[in-house]
Each structure stands twice: as structure tokens, then as C-alpha cells.
Amino acid sequence: MTSLLVELQTEELPPKALKKLSAAFADGLNKALAARRILAEGSTMTPYGSPRRMAVHITNVLEKSPDEAFTQRLVPVKVGLDAQGNPTAALTKKMNALGISCSVDALKRVNDGKNEQLVYEGVRAGIPVAEAVQKALDEAVKALPIPKVMNYQLADGVTTVQFVRPVKHLTALYGEEVLDVRMFGLKAGRTTVGHRFHTHAPIEIRSADSYAEQLLSEGKVIASYSERRAKLVELLNEAAQRAGGTLIAPEDLIDETNSLTEWPVIYVSEFEEKYLAVPEECLILTMQTNQKYFPMRDAQGKLMNRFCLVSHIEAKDDGAAIISGNARVVRARLADAEFFYTQDCQTKLADRVEGLKHVVYHNKLGTQAERMLRVKAIAGAVADKIGADRAHAERAAMLAKADLRTLMVGEFPELQGIMGEYYARHDGEPDDVALAIREHYEPRFAGDELPSTPVSIAVALADKLETLCGMFGIGQMPTGDKDPFALRRHALGVLRMLIEKKLPVALDDLVKTAFAVETKVEGVKDAQKELLAFFFDRLRVMMRDAGYTAQEVDAVLALGDMRVVQTPLRLKAVREFMQLPEAESLTAANKRIGNILKKAELAEDAQVVPELLAEKAEKALFDAVGDHEPIAKLLFEKGEFEAMLASLTPLKDSVDAFFADVMVNCEDASLRANRLALLKRLYVLMNRVAELSKLAK
């Protein structure tokens, strides 16, 4: 056994897809070879990916996969053999189709419990490495997650193939030997190419094991995606340190620039300080999005007028031309940003609200101006419920979408809300109003920060509730993995705000308030029931992600408590309760009581009549419930759920004795009703925090 190398050398691959593509190529090839049993124990796989190549190096590859004994069931004996024991046409056809050639006497007879079957036992010959690699390569390429395929003609000028980019060279080496493998009209060889500018001659790869080293030394290419990324980050940090700054380096931008270079070289350039008067988010987004630059902050956290840029050329003049050229490019970009900001500031945000009448929100829900009025109404009502300034919440809701009509947001949609805050502060709006314009979009994604002030929370809740109620009201609920209006994210945002901001507001009250506004739109139906069910589905997922079991979550959510702020507290209490030695017995008893009550005909207002208690065990249970009920009720009302559940544990002996000694469904109707009333009282007491029956094993 020896090492294997397979490389597809291509034209420039799409940078945002390279990381995923190269990893999938290597992983797919490795798994396909493993499935063919041609990888020996201890085999390791190393993926490679750069702008013009995807490759994989695999160790401990066998020259041929081992022979494999196998058993093949053919047909029932009565179908495969005639009365004289000769093979029938059905058996012959089956054997020919499977490539089995042997006499009937060589077949075994096996009873499968229904019929006696004819079975062939043989040995499947192993396949040579070239054949295994060919099949594995075909499978791996076919399964690649290509975002958009490209059609191109092969060298014959006739055949058209589809791939992410045209393939120039195919390299397949088993040790030092070139494998007879073909792909995209190319026959595998040992030739590849190095850096586009620093090298010119093709590189002859000596062996599978020399691939990465040769590309590095002869081709000026760091083939490993992860190693090149680590080098890129190291060089960026060194350059920023020399420049006296700290990088602003999002992971996505690092990945994208890493996918654009085979040999990272970092230069530091700058722009005029006057542009720092423009909001820093505009400058940062301009540099990152348009030019793939890395801005920097100084020791005080302020944006510097210097930035790092990633090149793949080691210039002889220390990059002077590259630095000055990029300075000219960024100057033009920042001048545009400055112009947009200056022009936008000439019109007040409030004066732009009228323009929202010309922005369609949804063909069934009207314009952004109409939506703004609904959000404003909901925000005012929510503000009253959570103790926020109603006037400020309504003002922020009115202005929240006005920046959609600005030049800056038109150029950079990612800045909506952010620019709204800047323009609101420029116009002299109250601080909490300006901040709410930015924060009402939060949380924008999982794990994002939540709005920080009561006014911001009121507007954020209103904005999300309006979207949810509107879409549910016109029947646009998420289906499967399709959620074009991000309703799952909106619902999670509402739940996170209620829970993490400890808002003592009932979820159904918020939904009712929002639908009261939304249903005034023609064609919008009241879908409170459906939306609340959707919220609880999201809450279930949210709590499972927090580490609670499905059983624990179901027990708590079964009560349908709309004060979702209590949900994590209840779950924590349930988990603690289940650690107690009495928990198993009490949950089992609770389940039994629930089943009894489901079948019973008992009046809603049924009360226990102490004089009808006949058995010692039922009297003891009645006394125990009476003793513990006030304590448990007090603890529950104080929100001390753990203590409340723990207070139930002394009931265990009384409950066990009751079921051991008392016949609930006795013939005497009055005794039966009295005992059922006692069990119902106990059931209500036990299930205040969670439906304990769902925790029974």
C-alpha cells in the first residue's frame, strides 16, 4: 500500500464556494474509496483547496481491494428447478444477470422460514486501485455542492460538459505511478501549475507524497486551505500590529480572501482622514464588501484611516504601486459614501416617511407606509404592557423604515436601521427613539444581541408580531424547510425578548393585540390559534437547544402557560425534581391519576366531602393534601418552582398507601365521586409547574 493524490486543476473557482467545494471533494473521494474497502487501517485524508485547484492526499491505499466472500440468494427451489432437478429458465436468467456461472449442484439450499431458497456462495474479486479511484472520482464529482454549474466545451470542440469551472489538468498518482483515470476529457498525468504570476513552467509532481511540498517550493502555492488561512491570519495580524491598529476581520471575509489567493501577501494602505466623518459602518462595509479590505481600529477603538489589503504578488518595489493603486480605488469608493451621507442628511428622516407609500411591502398587505401605521399601533400597545414610553415607541415605529428611502441604504441594504439611527440623531430625535430605529431589527440571527431599552424592545416586538400576524393572516405559514419571510427567526426573536428580558407579558395577549390591528386589513384572517401553536413549536425547539430533554420540555409546555418568561424556570425545577428519590413514584402516580380522571364522569366543581371519607388511607391523603396545599400554592405564586415541587415529596407515602388500600371505582356512587374529587384536587396540586405524568418512565 502507498499514498494516493488526486487533483483537479481548474480555472479560478468561485471564492465563496471554494472552502465547501474542496472539503466536499476530498471527503467524497475518501468515503467512496473506503466503501470499496481499498483503504487500509490507519489511512488518513488531507484536503487541499486553492483558487485554481481541489485535491486530496490519502495514505495507506491498497494496490487492490481484498477479495470478499459473499452470499447471493437466487430464487425459490420450486421456481429454479424443474421436476427432474434441472435449472429452469428463471434460474438461468437470474444467474446470467448476476454474472454467476456454476453448476446447479454447487448451489446451496437454505430455508428462510417460508420457502427453500437456492443460494450461491462465492468470492468477489477485489478491484485494482485505478478502477476504484475512477469510480470514486465519478461519484465525488457528481455529488459536489456546486452553487451554479458552467457549461464548457472539451478540447475536441464537440463535447460539452458541466462543472463549476473548466478543468485544465487532472493529476492522479499512486505513489510515483500515474493512474489510468479519466475525467472531463482529460487523461490523468502528473502535471499541474503553480502561481499564476510567480511561476510559469508546469510542475511535474514526483509522487503523491511530494505534492504539497513541490507546490510550495516550486509553485509558490500553499495548497492546504487551512494552512493558507492560518498564514493569512498571521500575516494580517503582523501587518496590523506594525501599523499600530487592531484588525476588523469577520470570519467570512477571511475565508473569502483566502479563497482568492494562493500565496497571501499583505500590504497596508490608507485614505484621507476627512472620510472618517462618515459613519464608520459605511466605511467598513464599503471596504469589506467592495474591495475585500481589512479596516483597523486604534487603541481607543476608533476607526483608523489605514487598512490591510491581501495581494498574491510579492512586488519588487515593496508594493508601492499596489498600495497607491488601492488607495486611489478606495478613495473613489469612500467619496461615494461621503456623498450619499451628505445628501441624505439634507432631508429629515420624518420627511421621508411619506415616501414609504411608494415602497410595496406585500401585495396583500399593502405598502411600507401602511405597514408602518400597523407597527406604530402595535408598538404603542406593547409599550403600555411593558412599561415603555408610549410616545417614543410610536415615534420610533413611525421612523423605523424611513431610511429605506435614503441613498446610503439604497446602496448598502445591510445598513438599514444603522443609518436610520445616525440620521435620527442628526435630526435631533430623542436618544431612545434613535436607538430603537437601529435595534428594532434585533435579534437579526441566532445568538444576536437583543434590543437594549424598553422603547427598542416595544418596537422590535411590534415589528416582528406585525410580520407574523400578517403572514399567518394571509396563509403564508412556513412549510417544511421553506420560510421566505423568516417567520421562524421572528418567532424566536419574540420568545427570546420575552424570556431573556424577563417581560411579564402573556404571549397570547401580545398575539391578540397584534391581530386586533392586523385584521383591519382586508383579507387578513384571525389566525391566533395557528400562530400560538407555531410559537410553542419554536419554544420547544429553543428549549431543546438549551439542553433540556424532549420529555422535560413536553411536561412543561403541556400546561400551555402563556407567560413564557417562566418556561426556563419551570424546566430547571423539573430537572431538579427528577433527581429526588420520590420523583419516580410521584410521576407514576400522577400518570395513573390522569388516566383515571380521563375516564371518569366528574363535575367541574366537584369538592371533597370529608364525612364521606371511609378508609384510613383516603383520610390520610386528604389530610396530607390539606397540609401541603397552602405551602405549595404560596411557593408557586412566588415563582419558587423548585421548592414547590420539592414540597410534594412528603405526599409519596400517602399516595402510595391510597392506591394500595382504596378502591377508587367502587360501586357506591357517592364514595366513588368523593374519591375522584380527592384525586382531582391532588392532580391539580401536583401539576402546577409541569404535567408530571409526562415524566413517568
Q: Which is more confidently placed, 164 or 113?
A: 164
User: Residues 37-75: pLDDT tens digits?
Assistant: 999 999 999 999 999 999 999 999 999 999 888 888 999
Confidence of residue 293 (pLDDT cuts 50, 70, 90): very high
**Cβ–Cβ < 8 Å for 304, 257:** no
Count, residues in the chain:
697
Mean pLDDT score of the chain: 94
**Cβ–Cβ < 8 Å for 344, 423:** yes
Q: What is the mean pLDDT of residues 433-454?
A: 94
**Cβ–Cβ < 8 Å for 575, 646:** no
Q: What is the mean pLDDT of residues 409-428?
A: 95
Residue 602 scores a pLDDT above 80: no
Helical (H) or strand (E) element with 48: strand 45-50
Residue 682 scores a pLDDT above 80: yes
**Could you tell me the fold of the domain covering 350-545?**
Hypothetical protein af1432 (1.10.3210)
Q: What is the pLDDT of residue 662?
A: 87
Task: Give DSSP secondary structure letters for 598-666.
Answer: HH----TT----GGG--SHHHHHHHHHHHHHHHHHHHHHHTT-HHHHHHTTGGGHHHHHHHHHH--TT-
**What stretches of 259-299 show up as alpha helix (H) in DSSP?**
280-285, 291
**Residue bearing cell 418567532:** 491
Helices 129-142 and 15-35: crossing angle in degrees, nearest 10, is: 140
User: Residues 572-591: pLDDT tens digits?
Assistant: 999 999 999 999 999 999 99
In percent, the amount of the chain with pLDDT more than 70 equals 100
Confidence of residue 614 (pLDDT cuts 50, 70, 90): confident
Helices and strands (H, E) in the chain, number of each type: 27, 20
Confidence of residue 457 (pLDDT cuts 50, 70, 90): very high
Q: What is the pLDDT of residue 342?
A: 95
Which runs of E-coded beta strand occur in 326-472?
360-362, 366-367
**Cβ–Cβ < 8 Å for 393, 371:** no
Q: What is the mean pLDDT of residues 381-390?
A: 96
Q: What is the mean pLDDT of residues 651-671?
A: 89
Task: Give DSSP secondary structure letters for 641-657.
Answer: HHHHHHTTGGGHHHHHH
Q: What is the pLDDT of residue 69?
A: 87
DSSP summary character for residue 417: T
User: Taking the model in full, what pTM does it have?
Assistant: 0.80
List the domain boundaries for the chain.
Answer: 2-64+128-217, 69-124, 225-344, 350-545, 571-695
Q: What is the pLDDT of residue 172?
A: 97
Q: What is the pLDDT of residue 348?
A: 96
Q: What is the mean pLDDT of residues 634-655?
A: 93
Q: Say how many C-beta atoms besides its own lie within 10 A of residue 413's C-beta.
A: 9
Q: Say how many C-beta atoms besides its own lie within 10 A of residue 278's C-beta.
A: 21
Confidence of residue 115 (pLDDT cuts 50, 70, 90): confident
Q: What is the mean pLDDT of residues 408-418?
A: 94
What is the three-class DSSP state of 80? helix
Give the helix, strand, coil percentages of the chain, each rounded to 5.
Answer: 55, 15, 30
Q: What is the mean pLDDT of residues 556-572?
A: 95
Confidence of residue 200 (pLDDT cuts 50, 70, 90): confident
User: Residues 506-550: pLDDT tens digits?
Assistant: 999 999 999 999 999 999 999 999 999 999 999 999 999 999 999
**Cβ–Cβ < 8 Å for 403, 409:** yes
Fill in the amino acid letter for 414.
Answer: E
Q: What is the pLDDT of residue 175?
A: 96
**Could you tell me the fold of the domain covering 571-695?**
Isoleucyl-tRNA Synthetase; Domain 1 (1.10.730)
Q: What is the mean pLDDT of residues 261-281?
A: 95
Q: What is the mean pLDDT of residues 367-371?
A: 96
Short-list 465, 450, 534, 458, CA closest to 496: 450
Among the listed ranges 131-135, 444-448, 688-692, which one has the minimum average pLDDT value? 444-448
